[in-house]
Amino acid sequence: MGILGWIVLGLIIGALAKLVMPGRDPGGVIVTMLIGVVGAILGGLLGNLLFGGGLEDFFSLRTWLLALIGSLIVLAAYRVVSGRRAVR
């Protein structure tokens, strides 16, 4: 998958992750896209470790599910880190 594919996947998956886990998050479109891209990479790594296969084609259901799971993990971690920062 090319760089443009990763960016598009990251933007869509980041938005889906925020839709699945609603709440107030600092950051706009760029943060959403970064969460999605990092989540897709994390999901691909986890899928490769657990199932022996990571991300495939852009239109593969496995790619989208792994990217969403990874993005949810990254979003949860982002909320924990940004929540601690706000308390100080």
pTM of the complete model: 0.78
pLDDT for residue 85: 57
Task: Check pLDDT > 70 for residue 86.
Answer: no
76: tokens are 């949860």
Per-residue pLDDT tens over the stretch 9-58: 878 888 888 888 877 766 777 787 788 888 888 887 888 888 776 666 77
CA distances to 36, 53, 88 from 33, rounded to whole Å, are 5, 24, 27
The Cα 60–Cα 26 span in angstroms is: 31
pLDDT for residue 13: 86
Mean pLDDT of 61-82: 85
41 in Cβ contact with 67 (< 8 Å): no
Q: How many domains does the chain have?
A: 1
Is residue 43 packed enough to be buried (19+ CB in 10 Å), middle (13-18) or exposed (0-12)? buried
Provide the residue range defining the domain that includes 14.
3-87
The Cα 36–Cα 42 span in angstroms is: 10
Task: Check pLDDT > 70 for residue 2.
Answer: no
